[in-house]
Amino acid sequence: MTNTDGQLYTIEGFAAALIMIATAYLVVNATSIYTAGDTHISDMQLEALGTDALKVMNIPVSKDEPSMMQEIIKATPSSGGNNLEFGTNFSYLINNKTGQNSDHIQFSATYTCRNSDNSTASIPLSYSRNLSGGEHAVRVTKWVTVNKGGVAFCGTTNTERAVLVEVLMWRD
Amino acid sequence: MGFLVSFSFFFLAMVINQSTVVGQTTAESVIEFPKNDIRDIREVITRNTTLSSQMAVKNDILVISLSRKNAVVWYDPPQIENNHTVIKNISYNNGVTEFNENWTAL
């Protein structure tokens, strides 16, 4: 007449329902939302773009000629400046997109020198915009060897020296 | 029967849920590997083996790497072995990744 068969049936139904709800929750929770903690993804893309552009600018046309980057550093005075050749070439390389419109990535470039007392000094090389401090910027670097002949460079003359060109890049 | 099927659904959903975290942490460890730094250091060390101012360039590289790139770099002065230029003990260490190489010119 009355027995306990239905109890097992009911419990099984409850358990299956709970498992299905947990599954649905896991599925919905698997979507990833792009948060402030994920900025390293777009930062890496910007870094790759910058290092490629700097590498292209440091390749000479033929073996015994100086590269564009070496000539740019030679032409920049020791107190620094806003080198137009660096600005136009670097900006073209990083902002070039397929099609008509170009990107708006800004940059601020310096190069670092080693002084005779083993301290380092950064000399401004070029900038597309003044840094205001609120930009989310990435830094890309490139080693360049330069000999400025008779002009004093990093405290020496007629010596080949290695400097590190550093560029801060950010999106507007 | 439905009970067993729901277990398999649950397992699949768990796998898909954890895949996001796995993919992100894997990508992060790839991103922080200093591939471009190491290639750049190798290029400036091995391209300039015939310079007259070897000591000045070497000190430049060592000091600027440490102060600006937070990396300890070392390399022995270039020597000639068997008619090839050889640079031994090229080392790079940025605290997370180490790189060591004995380089021979072609």
Domain boundaries, chain A: 1-31, 39-171
Q: Quote the percentage of chain A above a pLDDT of 70.
A: 99
Average pLDDT, chain A: 89
pLDDT: is B51 or A21 the higher one? A21
User: How do strand B79-81 and strand A120-127 relate by DSSP bridges?
Assistant: unpaired
Instruction: Say if residue B74's pLDDT is above 80.
Output: yes
The answer to whether residue A56 scores a pLDDT higher than 90 is yes
Complex confidence, ipTM:
0.81
Is residue B3's pLDDT more than 80?
no
A128-166 pLDDT, tens digit per residue, is: 988 888 888 999 999 999 988 888 888 888 889 999 999
Judge whether residue B24 has pLDDT over 80: no
Closest residue on chain B to A20 (Cα):
B6
Q: Where are the domains of chain B?
A: 1-31, 34-104
pLDDT of residue A102: 87
Q: Do B64 and A112 touch (CB under 8 A)?
A: yes
pLDDT of residue B45: 93
Q: In what order do the strands lie in the sheet with A120-127?
A: A120-127, A105-114, A161-171, A138-146
Q: Give me the pLDDT at residue A19, please.
A: 87
Q: Identify all chain A residues contacting B40, using CB atoms and an 8 Å cutoff.
A: 51, 141-143
Residues 6 or more apart whose CB falls under 8 angstroms from that of B63 comprise: A114, A118, A120
- A155 touching chain B per CB within 8 A: no
Q: Which residues of B touch A156 (CB under 8 A)?
A: 56
Mean model confidence pLDDT for chain B: 88
